[in-house]
Structure 1
Amino acid sequence: MPEIEKLSDVCKLLGDKMRLTILSLLKERELCVYEIVELIQTSQPNVSQHMRKLKAGGLVKEAKKGQWVFYSLNIEDKPFLHEFFQYLPSQKENVNAVSCKDLNCCD
């Protein structure tokens, strides 16, 4: 039953539009919180709340670079998600249009 419980928790995380959007952005590349804020046009506390849930659920990992935190996908150990992620719409154009340098945040 623990495997069913884990899968249920992942499905709950994926069931939120904001979190699913964040995951589709992270599918393209590692992003800082301010890039995510810019891309989804919401507040930094809102993004941080969703990131906390995604991290607790094991779907994202964070890396600190100086005082900045960067997020990336963490689904290598979840093969059941690999095919699912292929169906997420590409966010490449949107992600490529935003950078820390342009936002003057993490450089």
Structure 2
Amino acid sequence: MEPLGDIADDMKLLGDKTRLAMLSLLKEREWCVCEFVDIFDISQPAVSQHLRKLKTQGIVKESKRGQWVHYSLNVEDKPHIQAVLGQMPDSKTILALLNKKEIVASCE
């Protein structure tokens, strides 16, 4: 069992609406930074900052492909995050809530 402080830190990260939406999208597939820029209408540095915080806490992992970085979930050992994400809507619903249609990767 993780120390209480680590769980509290994880939950603080999920308290941000953008990060929670990112993690919810990551439940279904990996996403590229460029896709998140399009989805959230924020700058690439802002997206990278959100993802850096999640990576530092071990919630996501990254793989670099050319100039782009793709992220995927890394919560196998974090049942508290799995429980929260289990209650989140699917990616189609989240994209609709953000007034976005299906995102086609432009970074490949």
Provide TM-score, normalisation by structure 2.
0.84
Pairing 1:98–2:103 present:
yes
Report deviation, 1:83.
Answer: 2.1
Which shifted more, 66-75 or 86-95?
86-95
1:5-44 equivalences in 2 (<5 Å)? 5-44=5-44
Q: Which runs of 5+ in 1 are unaligned?
A: none
Query: How far apart are the structure 1 equivalents of 2:51 and 2:81?
Result: 18
What number of residue pairs does the alignment pair up? Answer: 102
Partner of 1:69, secondary structure, is: strand
Q: Which runs of 4+ in 1 moved over 3 A?
A: 92-96
Alpha-carbon distance change, 96 to 71 in structure 1, aligned in 2, over 3 angstroms: farther
Asked if the contact 1:28/1:92 (under 8 Å) is kept, the reply is no
- Residues 47-89 of structure 1: CA distance to partner in whole angstroms, max 9, x if unpaired? 0110110100111100112222100111011122222211111
Query: How far apart are the structure 1 equivalents of 2:101 and 2:7?
Result: 32
Query: How far apart are the structure 1 equivalents of 2:52 and 2:15?
Result: 16
Asked if the contact 1:26/1:72 (under 8 Å) is kept, the reply is yes
Asked if the contact 1:13/1:54 (under 8 Å) is kept, the reply is yes
Q: By percentage of residues, which structure has more helix?
A: 1
**Which amino acid is the alignment partner of residue 64 of structure 1?**
K
Partner of 1:99, secondary structure, is: coil
Query: How far apart are the structure 2 equivalents of 1:18 and 1:30?
Result: 16
Report deviation, 1:19.
Answer: 0.7
Identity %: 51
Provide TM-score, normalisation by structure 1.
0.85
Partner of 2:53, secondary structure, is: helix
Query: How far apart are the structure 1 equivalents of 2:101 and 2:64?
Result: 21
Pairing 1:59–2:64 present:
no
Q: Which runs of 5+ in 2 are unaligned?
A: none
Partner of 1:80, secondary structure, is: helix
